[in-house]
Amino acid sequence: MQFKLTDEQKMMQDMARDFAQKEILPTLKEDEREHRFRPELVRKMGDLGFFGCAIPEEYGGNGCGFFESVLLAEQLAKVSGSWRVPLNMQNIGPSVTVNRFGTREQKERFIPAWVKADSFGFFAITEPNSGSDVAGMGTTATDRGDHWELNGQKMWISNAHVGDWGLVYAFTDRSKKYKGMTCFIVNLKDNEGIVTAPIETKLGLHCSPTGEIAFTQARIPKDSVLGEVGQGFKICMWQLNNTRVSCAAGALGIGGGAIEAAINYANERTQFGKKIGSYQMVQAQIADMVAEHEAAKLLVYQAAWLKDQGLPNQHQTSIAKLFASEAAVHAASETMKIFGSYGFSTEFPAERFLRDAQSLRVVEGTSNIQKTIIAGIALGDVENR
Amino acid sequence: MNILVCIKQVPDMESKFKINGAGSWYDSGDLAWRMNEYDEYAVEQAVQLKEKTGGDLTVLCIGPERVKETMKKALAMGCDRGVHVADDEFFKKDSFSIAAVIAEFAKTKSFDLIFTGMQSQDRGSGQVGVIIAEMLGIPSVTTIVSFVFDNNTITVKRELEGGLKAVIKAPVPALVTCQLGLNTPRYPTLPNIMKAKKKELLSIPVAELLNVSAHQETTSLFFPEKKGGGLVLEGEAGDVADKLINILKEKTAVLA
């Protein structure tokens, strides 16, 4: 067992940190205020090879795995929780999933475009009335002989209104329940039956576009099915187990960013004639944050490493996601307290860390769902896959 | 085109520095390491030139085993091969010795162009590049902020005091030292970081290249003494004002 990053991994970590500092941070305040998504930044990430992890070289892969992608997500999120999201939209979501379940033609057609960010990816699972209960979704796909017809509505979909090609989950046979769901590769643009709209009422992640998608007798080609008809639920769970680790890495970044800000402030701010970091109560806050963060880091890195080894990891991934996102919320909340009134001010980053961190307790399976998975495997009811 | 770029690994400048046991340099125990900022401009310019003219680009770095990490970044940015001059005591060497080591390596390689940073962020002598050029008997131009290569001639701009700029032409072979503003160093891409693993990275013991004696020795390194605390005047407002006026009269020229 060893806990040391390779020179290459360290270089990637440094590069992502550098990228975040130079490309994201300078305009972040304004971008956040304007809820500005910067497509050119996603393309830049594509040029740098951010989206080719866990992808074979023939489809644009960069020779790296989940572990390296997690390092990138952490460094990006340390500066902005919004800007780790493209890793899931381009790489860990659609690309990795199509690489696992797609035909050769589908892989050649879609993966290189997502990896290069020529095509903006997405995946559409959640609906107004179905979140945690994925199999409760209402969207249907009907076989019309020469095409599929999609009907229904998706909500809280990252990239909905900026996305090109991505994955849509729908029921092809509701009577078969879990075995009646199918995954489709769908182009949101240029389809009369598809309408998208942004959701602009989110508490955080203001630079990451989120929206809804409405399908009304939307015609999509016959060859749009990913994997097999009826395999959708399995694909969906497989995919979420991957995108989940990227969220966990995002939590690591947000928590780490908050802690760094808190430590700097505790070392600078003076009250009663002494640095506030010299008071035991502030030290206790810092100690808890740092200890939780370090534990979260080991869990997240472990989950990513297991994926790269092809070993069962659902248990470890859910533990990492649960622990890291709760730790991030705690760290951000403590940071706000340490900053005092400045923590309550939008002029300082503490409140943004807290708003962004909250999202991680919800996406890719809520904290409650992670607990269900963890307990299910721990109790021996479910196999760790 | 045969190109050499010389780089140095330096501590992250936001580190908390401590003086080493000998009192002659900083303690390197607990520092994070980076490529010297000015060397990043040198690497970027060298890579751009190589991309334009073709040829071979060598990156050279002197130091202990850990400097290979920084060299790998230069390889990932586009250098073709690395030469690591292994030297655990490089920090004790003066600029003349460092330059002599590089010149000894370069003298038989017929480099058309040599790029260095204008100075290192830690020692900051700004001498190494110029001494290398003198030892090799080639022209050198320092602190360049723009670079053009055409027809075996380099045309570079230097930034002078008072906002002035000078344009200098020189035939190759030549050496330039690079300054902020020359270019924007590229990020090493993930695929290139992985490919750099396969590039040649040769190690040469420094003893094989060092055949001069030092001209200088750093005898001590210290933090400047902290200035004494200010004077706090206490008492009634009127008394304090009188004391202040007296001080200003006696110790400053503010009040006559």
> pLDDT, tens digit, for every residue of B7-64?
999 999 988 899 999 999 999 888 999 999 999 999 999 999 999 999 999 999 999 9
Contact A11 B188 (CB under 8 A): yes
The first and second tokens of residue B154, run together, are 């380099």
The first and second tokens of residue A310, run together, are 């092809």
Asked whether A382 and A374 are in contact (CB, 8 A), the reply is: no
On whether any CB of chain A is under 8 Å from the CB of B194, the answer is yes
The candidate with the shortest Cα–Cα distance to A152, out of A98, A215, A95, is: A215
- Rg of chain B, C-alpha, whole Å: 24
Per-residue model confidence (pLDDT) at position A280: 98
| Number of domains making up chain B | 1
Is the domain spanning A7-116 CATH 1.10.10.10? The answer is no
Average pLDDT over residues A140-151: 98
Per-residue model confidence (pLDDT) at position A162: 97
CATH of the domain at B51: 3.40.50.620
- Look up the domain containing B190 and give its range: 2-208
In whole angstroms, give the CA distance from residue A304 to residue A70: 7
Confidence of residue A183 (pLDDT cuts 50, 70, 90): very high
- Is B11 among the domain residues? yes
Best mutation target, B75, B187, B195, to test chain A (most A CBs within 10 A): B187
Percent of chain A with pLDDT over 70: 100
Q: Look at the domain A123-230 and name its fold.
A: Butyryl-CoA Dehydrogenase, subunit A; domain 2 (2.40.110)
- Is B223 among the domain residues? no
Longest distance between any two alpha carbons in chain B, whole Å:
79
Per-residue model confidence (pLDDT) at position A169: 98
Q: For residue A18, what is the nearest residue in chain B, using CA coordinates?
A: B187
Contact B190 A18 (CB under 8 A): no
Average pLDDT over residues A28-57: 97
Per-residue model confidence (pLDDT) at position B155: 97
The first and second tokens of residue A221, run together, are 């080609």
Active centre residues of A (catalytic): 364
On whether any CB of chain A is under 8 Å from the CB of B66, the answer is no
Contact A8 B191 (CB under 8 A): no
Higher pLDDT, B254 or A377: A377
Per-residue model confidence (pLDDT) at position B254: 76
Average pLDDT over residues A172-190: 96
pLDDT tens by residue, A57-78: 999 999 999 999 999 999 999 9
Rounded to a whole number, what is the distance in Å from the CA of B34 to chain A's nearest CA?
Answer: 9
Per-residue model confidence (pLDDT) at position B103: 98
Coil vs helix vs strand at A112: helix
Coil vs helix vs strand at A197: strand
The first and second tokens of residue A309, run together, are 């080894």
Q: Cβ contacts (< 8 Å) between B193 and chain A: which residues?
A: 8, 11-12, 15
Q: What is the mean pLDDT of each run of 10 residues along chain B (256 residues)?
A: 97 91 90 96 98 96 96 98 97 96 97 98 96 98 96 94 92 97 97 96 97 94 83 90 89 75
Asked whether A277 and A247 are in contact (CB, 8 A), the reply is: no
- The B residues from 93 to 152 touching A (CB cutoff 8 Å) are none
Average pLDDT over residues A79-87: 98
In whole angstroms, give the CA distance from residue B244 to residue B236: 12
Q: For residue B195, what is the nearest residue in chain A, using CA coordinates?
A: A63
- Is B20 among the domain residues? yes
Architecture of domain A233-378: Up-down Bundle (1.20)
Per-residue model confidence (pLDDT) at position B256: 66
Per-residue model confidence (pLDDT) at position B85: 98
- Is B180 among the domain residues? yes
Rounded to a whole number, what is the distance in Å from the CA of A236 to chain B's nearest CA?
Answer: 28
> Does residue A56 have a cis bond before it (omega within 30 degrees)?
no
Contact A12 B76 (CB under 8 A): no
Q: Cβ contacts (< 8 Å) between A68 and chain B: which residues?
A: 190
Contact A52 B188 (CB under 8 A): no
pLDDT tens by residue, A216-250: 999 999 999 999 999 999 999 999 999 999 999 99
Q: Cβ contacts (< 8 Å) between B72 and chain A: which residues?
A: 7-8, 11
On whether any CB of chain A is under 8 Å from the CB of B190, the answer is yes
Q: Cβ contacts (< 8 Å) between A15 and chain B: which residues?
A: 187-188, 193
Per-residue model confidence (pLDDT) at position A339: 96
Question: Which one of B73, B190, B196 has the shortest CB-CB distance to A49?
Answer: B190
Confidence of residue A101 (pLDDT cuts 50, 70, 90): very high
Contact B192 A49 (CB under 8 A): yes
Domain ranges for chain A, please list them. 7-116, 123-230, 233-378
Instruction: Kindly report the number of other CB atoms within 10 A of residue B252's CB atom.
Output: 8
In whole angstroms, give the CA distance from residue B38 to residue B105: 22
Note the ipTM here: 0.90
Pairing of the two strands B33-35 and B9-11: antiparallel
